[in-house]
DNA sequence: GTGGTTTCTGACGGTTCGTCAATAATGGAA
DNA sequence: TTCCATTATTGACGAACCGTCAGAAACCAC
């Protein structure tokens, strides 16, 4: 069943080739820099052939975004497997999020583009669902750690607060910070030098504020981070 | 000097009229829904005339965004004038941010659009600087409260941490949360019901985590919010 | 080979952008 | 009031890009 005729192989490879060519164009020149004639010329096939693969240019962009979110889920799942107390596993999640931004800073551009109403209208619900599915997976990985923390009595949630609501705070803080970092020049003007460190500083404070034990003053963050990098992400 | 001929008056009014017509189009149909021919038809002037006011459609969108950011600065300044301890003034800032999102949810759409590379390239640096200036004003209003808190010994910043870095955390948390709220359907699927309350919950935790006194368990948040709404924002 | 199927092609119609030469309106001076 | 230099308005136009589709080419099983 998975045996491919030369022709079928060519088609599969071409799809990857289109995405490879499109990615740097979007990164350099954004949504509007990407146009089908240009891709067609670059891959040396006619425009009609490109349209056999992707029904519009928005589909190309969402396909690029999907490649990245899948990677994020992988990083999160790895981080969650870190052996140790729940609070330490959360630090590992933070590290995963930071690595994702460092390694795929372009993703935030794709994410913004695919949220534009004009783009959402044109792209298939199927691909949109894939993105949302990955988002939910990340959420539930982290919510799982929250549940573990509650079970182990490292954390107590106020009456009526769901684990997902706690995750939402972290999600907001980190995604907000990274999106400001990547798009605003104000930061440098305000003299903020190591934004990644600032994000770590605030996530620690947020978890401390929710009284997630052990408190960040009760363990050595630097050596923990080193251990996480070594044990979880050594081959990234 | 400010006496206008009828003609000049007409021109000034037309500019406002163009923006009034453009706004709902962008809100309903996004960046791509807005097109110059359509505006021209709606305002009953030719396209060339529209171009006398705005050199491209991106300029229209950034002009709309400017109207909103100016309003935000105003709300923040009002909030900062709340009489009381620094921690309470921060709650007022949080309330201002929430009011801004509730009253101008569209702004986040404009903000995203004007960050697109294609839009940034085409819009005048002058208008971009206005936006950034408002951002900086908000930042420095809040940083001022942080400085007051430090002076009054309600807050102690770790060695080397600037007030702006603390503000960055709050800014990230709130803007991240609101941007997720406004664009992601995942939230409802995850069962998060009152996102505004969750944002308040997390900002309180973040400030508690930084040990900003009085701690949120030491005062009555609900009555404070009521007082703020009455004393600061009664006429909004 | 052959014929039916799949794939590829690029010219084409449609939409929007931004321009600019021609036209019209304006308002101060005679 | 009339005239005319200045300023404002107009819409047809060229350019860029999208997505389509009828016909050409390639493929493959017999």
User: Quick check: A206 and B173 CB within 8 A?
Assistant: yes
Distance CA B183, CA B119 (A): 20
Nearest to A164 among B179, B190, B207 (CB): B190
Q: What is the pLDDT of residue A2?
A: 55
Contacts of B208 in chain A (CB under 8 A): 208-209
Reading phi first (left if > 0) and then psi (alpha if -120 to 50, else beta), residue A160 is in: left
Domains A1-53 and A61-231 share a fold: no
Q: What is the pLDDT of residue B184?
A: 77
Considering only CA atoms, give the Rg of chain B: 21
Distance CA A104, CA A67 (A): 10
Residues with CB under 7 A from strand D: A 5-8, 34-37, 47-48, 51, 55-58, 122; B 7, 10-11, 14, 45-49, 51-52
Tell me the nt nearest to A55, Cα to C1'.
Answer: D19
Distance, CA of A197 to C1' of D29, in Å: 64
HEC letters along chain B:
CCCCCHHHHHHHHHHHHHHHHHHHHHHHHHHHHCCHHHHHHHHCCCHHHHHHHCCCHHHHHHHHHHHHHHHHHHHHHHHHCCCCCHHHHHHHHHHHHHHHHHHCCCHHHHHHHHHCHHHHHHCCHHHHHHHHHHHHHHHHHHHHHHHHHHHCCCCCCCCCCCHHHHHHHHHHHHHHHHHHHHHCCHHHHCCCCCHHHHHHHHHHHHHHHCCCCCCHHHCCHHHHHHHHHHHCCCCC
Residues 110-149 of B with CB under 7 A from strand C: 122
How many inter-chain contacts (A to B, CB under 8 Å) are there? Answer: 158
> What pLDDT tens digit does each residue of chain B (236 aa) get?
456 777 789 999 999 999 999 999 999 999 999 999 999 999 999 999 999 999 999 999 999 999 999 999 999 999 999 999 999 999 999 999 999 999 999 999 999 999 999 999 999 999 999 999 999 999 999 999 999 999 999 999 999 999 999 999 999 999 999 999 988 777 777 788 899 999 999 999 999 999 999 999 999 999 999 999 999 998 87
Q: Is the CB of A11 under 7 A from strand C?
A: yes
Residue B150 and residue B163 in contact, taking contact as beta carbons nearer than 8 Å: yes
| Fold assignment, A1-53 | Arc Repressor Mutant, subunit A (1.10.10)
Nearest to A118 among B30, B209, B210 (CB): B30
CB atoms within 10 A of CB A172: 26
Q: How far is B133 from chain A (nearest CA, A)?
A: 9
Distance CA A23, CA A1 (A): 31
Residue B202 and residue A235 in contact, taking contact as beta carbons nearer than 8 Å: no
Q: Which residues are CB-neighbours of B216 under 8 A, at least 6 positions away?
A: B204, B205, B207, B208
Residue B35 and residue B73 in contact, taking contact as beta carbons nearer than 8 Å: no
- pLDDT under 50: residue ranges of chain A: 1
Nearest to A118 among B31, B176, B208 (CB): B31
Residue B4 and residue B14 in contact, taking contact as beta carbons nearer than 8 Å: no
Distance CA B212, CA B206 (A): 9
Q: Which residues are CB-neighbours of B183 under 8 A, at least 6 positions away?
A: A115, B108
Residue B69 and residue B134 in contact, taking contact as beta carbons nearer than 8 Å: yes
Tell me the nt nearest to A54, Cα to C1'.
Answer: D19
Distance CA B42, CA B33 (A): 14
Q: What is the pLDDT of residue B182?
A: 86
**Domain extents for chain A?**
1-53, 61-231
Closest chain B residue to A162, measured at CA = B192
The token duo for A148 is 């573990």
Q: What is the pLDDT of residue B187?
A: 77
CA neighbor of A172 nearest in space, from B178, B91, B166, B105? B178
Q: Dihedral sign, CA of B7, B12, B13, B15?
A: positive
Out of 1.10.357.10, 3.30.420.40, 3.20.20.150, 3.90.1330.10, the CATH code matching B62-231 is: 1.10.357.10
Q: What is the pLDDT of residue B2?
A: 55
The token duo for B147 is 């400085």
Q: What is the pLDDT of residue B8?
A: 86
User: Quick check: B179 and A176 CB within 8 A?
Assistant: yes
Q: What is the tens place of the pLDDT at every residue in A59-87?
A: 999 999 999 999 999 999 999 999 999 99
User: Side-chain half-sphere of A120: how many Cα atoms within 13 Å?
Assistant: 15
Q: What is the pLDDT of residue A58?
A: 97
- Return the CATH superfamily for domain A61-231: Tetracycline Repressor, domain 2 (1.10.357.10)
User: Quick check: A207 and B209 CB within 8 A?
Assistant: yes
A4: Cα separation from own chain's centroid: 33
Contacts of B169 in chain A (CB under 8 A): 173, 177, 198, 201-202, 205
H/E stretch holding A90 reads helix A86-103
User: Quick check: B183 and A139 CB within 8 A?
Assistant: no
Q: Is the CB of B209 under 7 A from strand C?
A: no
Distance CA A32, CA A173 (A): 29
Residue A213 and residue A87 in contact, taking contact as beta carbons nearer than 8 Å: yes
Closest chain A residue to B30, measured at CA = A117
Q: What is the pLDDT of residue B193?
A: 87
Q: How far is B80 from chain A (nearest CA, A)?
A: 20
Test mutation, A105, A133, A167, A186, chain B, max B CBs within 10 A: A186
């Amino acid at each position: 069943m998975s045996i491919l005729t030369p022709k079928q192989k060519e088609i599969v490879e071409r799809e990857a080739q289109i995405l490879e060519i499109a990615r740097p164009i979007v990164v350099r020149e954004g949504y509007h820099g990407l146009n089908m004639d240009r891709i067609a010329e670059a891959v040396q096939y006619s425009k009609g052939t490109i349209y056999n693969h992707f029904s519009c240019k928005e589909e190309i962009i969402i396909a690029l975004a999907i490649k990245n979110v899948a990677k994020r889920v992988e990083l999160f799942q790895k981080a969650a497997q870190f052996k140790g107390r729940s609070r330490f596993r959360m630090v590992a999640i933070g590290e995963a999020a930071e690595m994702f931004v460092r390694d795929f800073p372009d993703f935030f551009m794709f994410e913004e583009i695919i949220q534009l109403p004009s783009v959402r209208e044109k792209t298939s619900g199927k691909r949109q669902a894939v993105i949302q599915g990955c988002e939910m997976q990340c959420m539930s990985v982290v919510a799982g750690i929250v549940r573990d923390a509650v079970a182990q009595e490292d954390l107590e949630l106020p009456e009526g607060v769901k684990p997902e609501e706690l995750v939402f705070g972290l999600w907001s803080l980190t995604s907000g910070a990274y999106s400001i970092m990547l798009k605003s020049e104000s930061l440098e003007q305000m003299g903020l030098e190591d934004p990644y460190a600032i994000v770590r500083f605030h996530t620690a404070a947020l978890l401390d504020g929710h009284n997630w034990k052990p408190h960040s003053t009760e363990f050595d963050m630097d050596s923990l981070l080193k251990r996480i990098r070594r044990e979880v992400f050594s081959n990234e």
